[in-house]
Amino acid sequence: MALSDDLRAIQEQVGKRLRAARTLAELDQVRVGSLGKKGSLTAIMRSMGSVPKEERPAMGRLANTVRANVERAIAMRKEELSQEALAAKIAAEEVDVTLPGRRLSLGTQHLISQIREEIEDIFCDLGYTVEDGPYVETAYYNFTALNAPEDHPSRSAKDTFYVADNAPEGKGVSVLGESDVLLRTQTSGVQVHVMEEKEPPIYMICPGTVFRPDTADANHLPQFTQVEGLVVDKGITFGDLKGTLDHFCREIFGKDRATRYRPHFFPFTEPSCEVDVSCGVCGGAGCRFCKGTGWLEILGCGMVDPNVFTYVGIDPETYTGFAFGIGVERVAALRYDLPDLRMLMTGDMRFLRQF
């Protein structure tokens, strides 16, 4: 009986092809090839009408059995392949919890920010407030109210970045006094703002960025950081200034460092000094770092000039005060023996990670 042979052959062939199928897609091809619209089994079912009537029931049963077998075989193989696929997926996604983790590199504060905050802490512990001021200033706050004469060289465009806005048509800003608006060259102007706004007693510092038209080299940066300090109260003396700044130097550089106060000139203080600390490299004996002097200059200071008080309406007969200006990059350079200030600006992680 040819048809029954065909049915058995199909069952056998499907079984073989199922064993050969490696993926669910291949399995589906087997299903379509046998049970699909144009499948081999479907074709036989369709031809059942041409089977002689008396053979039809037996042939029909056989055909149904074969179809049921094929369907079951496909379902079983499908289950097997799904399990295999799942196992493969799990294996591929397996996490080896014993592998060493990837190290996260933690960021830190920039050295300048660290020192700036350290200075803030020292003065906050003494009861000072931390003030802020604008980067873009007028000549009044940066110079005039700080008692700098109209012809003071620091006002020239060689030493100050002027903002061109106020310059007369076509003239640029290179000539003294053409523009009134500038990038502050010092944080000292914040003293004026604070004294205008607050009544004494004033105990304040102002850390901040300042700008000067200097070419960057080992000792200069066109943009750097200062911490301004100002005290205004009744009965403030040079002794208070010295006690405060000696305390600051010891906190920043260590208890064993000596200080010395050298007379100097600043327009806004009288008398004025520059303060040196004893060299940490040679202990004061003299070496290359301190250029043989045993001392390193670290800040400028002085007693507030009565003229400055007059500009802001504080009575110099009632109040006295002192002021100081610290270069933060300079403190960094002295504390860590940095040979070149530009190292602080380049963002080289090999350098910055040391702090």
302 belongs to the binding site for ligand DAH (CB under 6 A): yes
Burial of 13 (0-12, 13-18, 19+ CB in 10 A): middle
142 belongs to the binding site for ligand DAH (CB under 6 A): no
Q: Which of 128, 341, 115 is nearest to 214 (CA)?
A: 341
325 belongs to the binding site for ligand DAH (CB under 6 A): yes
Q: Which residues contact 160 (CB under 8 A, 6 or more apart)?
A: 142, 154, 182, 183, 185, 212, 213
User: Taking CB under 6 A as the criterion, which residues in 4-33 touch ligand DAH?
Assistant: none
Burial of 118 (0-12, 13-18, 19+ CB in 10 A): middle
Of 145, 192, 323, 328, which one interacts with ligand DAH (CB under 6 A)?
323
Q: Which is nearer to ligand DAH, 188 or 278 (CB)?
A: 188
Q: Which is nearer to ligand DAH, 11 or 144 (CB)?
A: 144
The single residue listed with the structure tokens 């196992």 is 87
Q: Which of 232, 239, 248 is nearest to 322 (CA)?
A: 232
Q: In the beta sheet, which residues pair with residue 295?
A: 278
User: Taking CB under 6 A as the criterion, which residues in 237-276 touch ligand DAH?
Assistant: 266, 269
186 belongs to the binding site for ligand DAH (CB under 6 A): yes
| Strand 202-211 with 129-130, pairing | parallel
Query: How many chain residues bind ligand DAH (CB under 6 A)?
Result: 11
Q: Which is nearer to ligand DAH, 73 or 304 (CB)?
A: 304
Q: Which is nearer to ligand DAH, 67 or 330 (CB)?
A: 330
205 belongs to the binding site for ligand DAH (CB under 6 A): no
Give least dist CB 286 to ligand DAH, A: 26
CB 206 within 8 A of CB 335: no
Q: Which stretch binds ligand DAH (CB under 6 A): 11-19, 43-51, 251-259, 299-307?
A: 299-307
User: Among positive and negative, which fits the CA dihedral 153, 158, 162, 165?
Assistant: positive
Of 324, 329, 331, 334, which one interacts with ligand DAH (CB under 6 A)?
324
Give least dist CB 189 to ligand DAH, A: 9
Q: Which is nearer to ligand DAH, 59 or 261 (CB)?
A: 261
CA 275 – CA 296 distance, rounded (Å) = 8
221 belongs to the binding site for ligand DAH (CB under 6 A): no
Q: Which stretch binds ligand DAH (CB under 6 A): 48-56, 71-79, 136-144, 319-327?
A: 319-327
User: Among positive and negative, which fits the CA dihedral 255, 261, 264, 265?
Assistant: positive
138 belongs to the binding site for ligand DAH (CB under 6 A): no
CA 57 – CA 225 distance, rounded (Å) = 102
Of 10, 67, 189, 228, which one interacts with ligand DAH (CB under 6 A)?
228
295 belongs to the binding site for ligand DAH (CB under 6 A): no
224 belongs to the binding site for ligand DAH (CB under 6 A): no
CB 131 within 8 A of CB 204: yes
CB atoms within 10 A of CB 6: 17
Of 11, 138, 142, 188, which one interacts with ligand DAH (CB under 6 A)?
188
CA 299 – CA 321 distance, rounded (Å) = 17
Give least dist CB 202 to ligand DAH, A: 13
Of 200, 267, 294, 300, which one interacts with ligand DAH (CB under 6 A)?
300
CB 231 within 8 A of CB 126: no
- Site residues, ligand DAH (CB under 6 A): 186, 188, 228, 266, 269, 300-302, 323-325
